[in-house]
Structure 1
Amino acid sequence: MEKAQKPEKPAFRLPPGLVSYLQSAPLILIIGFFFVLPILMIAVVSFWDYDFAGIYPAFLTMNYTESLGSWVTWKTYLNTLKFTAIVWMLTLFIGFWVAYFLAFHVRRTSMQMILFLVCTVPFMTSNIIRMISWIPVLGRNGLVNQALVDLGIVPKPVEWLLYSDFAVVLAMVHLYTLFMVTPIFNTLMRIDRSLFEAARDAGASGWQILWNVVLPLAKPGMAIGTIFVVTLVMADFSTVQVMSGGQSASVALMMKNQMSLLQYPAAAANAVVLLVVVLLMVSAILRVVDIRKEL
């Protein structure tokens, strides 16, 4: 008689819930160490005391009361929001039409990619280099002023082209427009072209198709580009410092000056307030537009 086979022992298996946690553990550790922990450290330091000699562990609300109770701080925040709003509107307008041209007027996919790569060429250099390149163009003896004077449009060089709010906005638009073009272009490329044919068959004109078909479907990409541009402008200090010639201010520049004076707790308090403001703006955008389909 054949010997009865012994039943195999069931393989050891971890609970499904534990497997999910183990799979996500590397990502949680990376986000926790490089994102959550630094923010917590900034929040803790914002309550510390300081003087000209150093910073001291404590729990004081002085940094927040001095920051939020100062009209200079509020004026700086309003100036930062002004830059953000203007740059956002210009980058949205330029970015949408560039993406629209690439998506719908360039037929060949290879040419779309080539033109898109051409748009990214300036971003292969440093932000500082691209920003400083505007100085010989906008300066008193720059290319623009020389052309205006030679053509007789103005009798003397225009002073406000450089070291002004105009120069700051122009440089920021140059620096951040691609961050608006990319997500909008990605969204427009996903639109089903048969929708345009259906709209034309229903008697819609080109502008009606743009307003009723393209724009509603492009909202997720516009929202993602808005988040990129808003966060970048709110955190930019070098452009404001260089292009305004020290005549304008932003929250990030104020924090940079505080850190140069070793006022780290005060700078940390402003960083926390700025983070809250940016998060409120991003949450407002996410309430208006659902971007989960694009992620």
Structure 2
Amino acid sequence: MISTTPAAHGVAHTPERPMPAWWQAAPYTLVFVLFFLLPLGLILMVSFWDFNEYELLPGFTLRNYASIFEGCSTLTDHGDFCVTLSTYLSTLKFSFLVWLITLVLGFAVAYFLAFHVRSSGMQTALFVLCTVPFWTSNVIRMISWVPLLGRNGLVNQALTGLGVVDEPVEWLLFSDFSVVLAFVHLYTMFMIVPIFNSMMRIDRSLLEAASDAGASAWQTLWNVIVPLCKTGIIIGSIFVITIVMGDFVTIGVMGGQQIASVGKIIQVQTSYLQFPLAAANAVILLAVVLMIIWCLTRLVDIRKEL
């Protein structure tokens, strides 16, 4: 019997060499450098430049950072912090409140979808329903609160009509309350998605084992579900906190341009062409956000989820 394999005809089969790993990663590295590292490097460089009313002055100066922290070593005559520290405390306050509310709402919605909705089709339909607000602009969703919460809005009309209050409630709009409400409305979905994803990965036999062991519903929730959802909670927390820390549109619109935030200060400085000062503020804000993210990532290994 005559063999017809390539080796029998003197033709050796050479296996294809796989492409080197560094060559495969080169396009992604290039995109990362061009659209992430390079802009950050430019912002860092400009933060050390000088400027006047008419032009930027390339060079190296620490005047911008000194100007930001000017007077922060002591309290004011009224016992208050300097403008920079007060602004960061205000921004952190909004971040904490929004994080806490979105965590509670996001966990509740994700828990309902993952464990109480049995049909996968219904789960998908309800999940898509949660994304409906994202089909419109953020500005439109914020403005929609004005007719509801304004002095002559529907809420105040209902309260005065029912006799709950004698005059319209002023703090419903253009206040800390309206800012937090808008943030929760806009960003709760960023908490729902990762938590829901973590819950769907939980082996249902673990819940049955906890129930067979005599654990109550609250004990199962706290000792089984919450630890297994920790990665999703951390990812959602990173999304919400980082977005709120840098947001200036929501605070400007819902705060009536009366509430300060770090993002709002940067936006005002760029509008006055104070780019080096705005860049210095952006670098400080980035450092604060990175420290928060670093602290959160110490709690769980996010790479397991990714």
- Bigger proportion of residues as helix: 1
Residue 190 in structure 1 maps to residue 201 in structure 2: yes
2:188 aligned to 157, 177, 182, which one? 177
Residue 150 in structure 1 maps to residue 151 in structure 2: no
Shift of 1:291: 1.6
- Consecutive unaligned residues of structure 2, counting only runs of 5 or more, are 1-8, 72-81
The number of residue pairs the alignment matches comes to 289
Distance in 2 (alpha carbons) for counterparts of 1:163 and 1:13: 64
Provide the residue aligned with 1:41 in structure 2: 42
The amino acid across from 1:188 in the alignment is M
Provide the residue aligned with 2:78 in structure 1: none
Provide the residue aligned with 2:116 in structure 1: 105
Shift of 1:160: 0.4
1:232 aligned to 243, 246, 264, which one? 243
2:270 aligned to 248, 252, 259, which one? 259
Distance in 2 (alpha carbons) for counterparts of 1:122 and 1:12: 50
Matches within 5 A, 1:212-251: 212-251=223-262
Shift of 1:247: 1.5
Distance in 1 (alpha carbons) for counterparts of 2:22 and 2:299: 32
Distance in 1 (alpha carbons) for counterparts of 2:10 and 2:122: 67
2:179 aligned to 154, 161, 168, which one? 168
Distance in 2 (alpha carbons) for counterparts of 1:204 and 1:147: 45
SS state of the match for residue 288, structure 1?
A: coil
Q: TM-score, normalised by structure 1?
A: 0.95
Provide the residue aligned with 1:65 in structure 2: 66
Identity of aligned pairs, percent?
58
Cα displacement string for residues 100-152 of structure 1 (whole angstroms, at most 9, x for unaligned residues): 00101111000000000001011110111101111111000001101111111
Shift of 1:12: 9.0
SS state of the match for residue 141, structure 1?
A: coil
Q: Which protein, 1 or 2, shows the higher relative CO under an 8 Å CA cutoff with sep ≥ 6?
A: 1
Provide the residue aligned with 1:25 in structure 2: 26
Cα displacement string for residues 225-271 of structure 1 (whole angstroms, at most 9, x for unaligned residues): 00000010011001111111122110000000000000000000000
Residue 293 in structure 1 maps to residue 298 in structure 2: no
Distance in 2 (alpha carbons) for counterparts of 1:10 and 1:170: 65
Let me know the Cα RMSD of the aligned residues: 1.7
Cα displacement string for residues 36-61 of structure 1 (whole angstroms, at most 9, x for unaligned residues): 00000000000000011011101001
The amino acid across from 1:270 in the alignment is N
Distance in 2 (alpha carbons) for counterparts of 1:9 and 1:210: 59
The runs of at least 4 consecutive aligned structure 1 residues that moved more than 3 Å come to 5-14
Shift of 1:68: 2.2
Q: TM-score, normalised by structure 2?
A: 0.91
Provide the residue aligned with 1:124 in structure 2: 135
Cα displacement string for residues 61-120 of structure 1 (whole angstroms, at most 9, x for unaligned residues): 111111123411111111000000000000000000000001011110000000000010
